[in-house]
Amino acid sequence: MRRHASILIAYFLQFVKARLVYRADFIVDSLSVFGALAVQLAFLGVLYSRIQTLAGWSIDELILIHGFSMIPLGLFNLISFNLWNFSEKHLVEGQFDRVLLRPIHPVFQVLFETFNVAALNEIIIGCVLLVVAGTRLGIAPEAGDLLLLPLLAVSGAAIYLGIFLTLTSLSFWFEDRLGIGAPVYNMIRFARYPVTIYHPAVRALLSWIIPFSFAAFYPATAFLRSTEFQLFVWLTPVVAVISLSVALFVFSRGMLRYTSTGS
């Protein structure tokens, strides 16, 4: 773990150095991050100003769920950039050869070669919404929340990572330049709302087939002090471990099918 942590830091520092080569571009990108942050906050303000209740859930409860959901999603988006072009970059162009030659796990290299710093927007907005909604609901923060929030947020990010790494790994079997991850990614927005508002079939899909609800809605209910979904809250880390285990298994099996382009 210590070795991989040091390598991760080295990857990140190298990424920052590469970005700072063009300082004007880096400054513009940084300013755009704050601009996007302001736009997203304004959009959410307009969206939720139109809603008072939704199937028995109050506006502040909806905001809290939405706010939490953005934190694990932001953590995932921070490191998922290379998953979207994996087939094109690593398999079609043959850059996976370089990955296999290094004495580091291939998944580690693929994930941490590039970072999407714009994803920090989602993490910041999520934390702001979580605090604002919790205050308006009169929910007093507890000491355990300081441990529970990072545990559930990281578990949620791990669920997203497991799902999309599995989908990415299918590229070893099916050459897919566009990828099937993007359509599935669009389903994440459904997990930002209480799963109880959906048809039982949709609820089952989001809970047990593509478990986005375990990355967003279910863990968010812990901060609403709700006991109705308490079992699902504690199942979140379990689902995360299962999702990652399946993804790593599929990826490792896929590597056995990889054939170099010879270029």
Q: Is the pLDDT of residue 252 over 90?
A: yes
Q: What is the pLDDT of residue 37?
A: 66
Q: Which of 4-8, 78-82, 243-247, 259-263 has the highest mean pLDDT?
A: 243-247
- Comparing CA positions, the residue from 30, 142, 121, 114 lying closest to residue 71 is 121
β-pairing, 57-58 with 53-54?
Answer: antiparallel
Give the integer Cα–Cα distance in Å for 104 and 106. 6
Out of 136-140, 213-217, 231-235, least confident range: 136-140
Residues 133-192: tens digit of each pLDDT? 999 999 988 888 889 999 999 999 999 999 999 999 998 888 665 567 788 998 998 988
Q: Is the pLDDT of residue 261 over 80?
A: no
Q: What is the pLDDT of residue 26?
A: 65
Q: What are phi and psi of 3, to 5 degrees?
A: -65, -45
Coil, helix or strand for 211? Answer: coil
Q: What are phi and psi of 56, to 5 degrees?
A: 90, -5
| Other Cβ atoms closer than 10 A to 145 | 16
Coil, helix or strand for 154? Answer: helix
Q: What is the pLDDT of residue 263?
A: 56
Q: What is the pLDDT of residue 60?
A: 87
Average pLDDT of the residues of the chain: 86
Q: What is the pLDDT of residue 246?
A: 97
Q: What is the pLDDT of residue 176?
A: 61
Cα end-to-end distance, the chain, whole Å: 34
Residue whose pair of structure tokens reads 């010879």 in the numeric block: 262
Residue whose pair of structure tokens reads 């048809």 in the numeric block: 199
Comparing 261 with 147, the larger pLDDT belongs to 147
| Exposure string for 243-260, b = 16+ CB within 10 A, e = fewer | bbeebbebbeebeeebee
Q: What is the pLDDT of residue 248?
A: 96
Query: What are the structural domain ranges in the chain?
Result: 2-255
Burial class (CB within 10 angstroms; exposed 0-12, middle 13-18, buried 19+) of 202: middle
Two structure tokens written together for 244: 């990652």
Q: Is the pLDDT of residue 5 over 70?
A: yes
167 and 184 Cβ atoms separated by less than 8 Å: yes
- Comparing CA positions, the residue from 163, 160, 162, 168 lying closest to residue 84 is 168
Q: What is the pLDDT of residue 206?
A: 94
Residues 41-75: tens digit of each pLDDT? 677 677 667 777 777 888 889 889 989 999 999 99
Residues 82-131: tens digit of each pLDDT? 888 888 888 888 888 888 888 888 999 999 888 887 788 889 889 988 99
The residue count of the chain comes to: 263
